Amino acid sequence: MVKLIWKNKKDIYSKLEDLKDFPPDFFNSFESHSINSNKERKTINNSKPWMNKLFWGDNLEVLLFLLNNFDEKIDLIYIDPPFFSGTNYQIKIKESDKFYDSIAYYDHWNRDLSSYLQMLYDRIILFNKILSKTGLIFIHSDWHANHYIRLILDEIFGEKRFVNNIIWYYYNKFSAGKKNLPRAHDTILVYSKSNNYTFNQVRIPRKKPQKQLKREMVNGVLKNVKDENGHTIYRIVNDKKMDDVWKIPCMQPASKEWTGFPTQKHHKLLDRIIRLGSNEGDLIADFFCGSGTSLVVAEKLGRRWIGCDISEYSIYLTRNRILDYQNAAEKFYPYEILTNLDTNKSGIIESGFFQKEISIKRKK
Ligand SMILES: C[S@@+](CC[C@H](N)C(=O)[O-])C[C@H]1O[C@@H](n2cnc3c(N)ncnc32)[C@H](O)[C@@H]1O
């Protein structure tokens, strides 16, 4: 087996026994929405009522906390972590008449690839523990580090658990490169926990209807279907089986779903991922949720979810997107926001930050 090595590579497997004692009261809910409303979804099989969970904090701590109760309980994990792009993503904030600049998230790493890989490695080990036996993990990255991430996934999940290398081709992104071809795709690596995983057939619309031979399987061989006069039968198809190259635009400020959060992913991308790898009522998790795209899509598709982000701007946007959806929806799962309250977080909550009317814009 080939293994990736980096400076000071450590694994947390040996520490996991001690970490199992991670305090079960480390994260506490500081806000919850819609308990006992008639719009609430009932949990499948009348089991204990479920509340979706949005964690504000470092996902390593959240993962250790979840090991208490969610070992092999998550049906689908999607993550869109920092890509080792060498940039810190800046935003402009407007709050009443005040304007100020801030950082949405950091992706500079002082150019230290080892610390970036170690950050992902620790988390991927824990993802493997909380993913259910029939679950799938989708890891989003780009040319900066996807070649390393694939080797890490091979090491932790096993190379036999590789399912797909999805190419997200975004044709509408400006590229300034003069000495290379425009970089117009991201990679989403898909791995499973076992060889028996949820995988739904997803069909996507064709640009134009297409005339196709009608075919059927006869004794394991695909044959053209003929009518009683021996003529081949045609049919008109409006959709096609989805393959592993997905042509979906980048989010644009003109979209009504646009939040202003840098690197917000397109909801259509998440719609495909969640439909492909989960069923209604399944539990989806995104530990780098940013503006909450995956969670809003999960909610719309009737999946339960756990989200996490370290940035208050992410929590602000995700909270509002979920509330907006719930206001208009017929049915939804109630949800709570949890954190480990330190002085800084208490100050932010007490200032009423999450209830304020603010607008966030990506700073170019
Ligand atoms: C690429 S963005 C996610 C964008 C998201 N998919 C969307 O559609 O808006 C990466 C996110 O990871 C978060 N993040 C980075 N390190 C983290 C950590 N250790 N724990 C939790 N969140 C983290 C950042 O704050 C940022 O919001």
Q: Is the CB of 155 under 6 A from ligand 1?
A: no
**pTM for the full predicted model:** 0.95
Rg over alpha carbons for the chain, rounded to the nearest Å, is 22
Encoding tokens for residue 120? 């992902």
Same domain, 38 and 137: yes
Mutate to test the pocket of ligand 1, among 105, 106, 293, 297 (most ligand atoms within 8 A of CB): 105
Q: Tell me, what's the pLDDT at 45? A: 64
Please indicate whether residue 177 or residue 229 has the higher confidence score (pLDDT): 229
Q: Tell me, what's the pLDDT at 35? A: 75
> In sequence order, what E strands does 124-250 have?
131-141, 162-169, 185-192, 203-213, 215-218, 221-224, 234-241, 245-247
- For 97-140, write each residue's pLDDT tens digit: 899 999 999 999 999 999 999 999 999 999 999 999 999 999 99
Same domain, 30 and 123: yes
Encoding tokens for residue 245? 């190259």
Q: Is residue 255 part of a domain?
A: yes
Same domain, 252 and 308: yes
Q: Is the CB of 286 under 6 A from ligand 1?
A: no
Please give the tally of structural domains in the chain: 2
Same domain, 235 and 252: no
Atom of ligand 1 nearest to the CA of 286: 6
CA of 221 to the centre of ligand 1 (A): 48
Same domain, 114 and 192: yes
Q: Three-state SS for 226?
A: strand
Same domain, 173 and 250: yes
Say how far apart CA 98 and CA 347 lie, in whole Å.
19
31: exposed, middle or buried (Cβ count in 10 Å: 0-12, 13-18, 19+): middle
Identify the CATH number of the domain in which residue 310 sits. Answer: 3.40.50.150
Least confident of 1-5, 88-92, 311-315, 335-339: 1-5
Same domain, 115 and 167: yes
Atom of ligand 1 nearest to the CA of 293: 8
**Residue nearest (by alpha carbon) to ligand 1 atom 10:** 81
Last residue of a domain, one of 192, 217, 241: 241
> Which range of residues forms the domain containing residue 122?
16-202+242-362
Q: Is residue 304 part of a domain?
A: yes
Pairing of strands 185-192, 162-169: antiparallel
Same domain, 358 and 276: yes
Residue 37 binned pLDDT confidence (cut-offs 50, 70, 90) = confident
Same domain, 46 and 172: yes
Same domain, 251 and 175: yes
Q: Is the CB of 141 under 6 A from ligand 1?
A: no
Residue 46 binned pLDDT confidence (cut-offs 50, 70, 90) = low
Atom of ligand 1 nearest to the CA of 288: 12
Please indicate whether residue 36 or residue 54 has the higher confidence score (pLDDT): 54
Atom of ligand 1 nearest to the CA of 290: 27
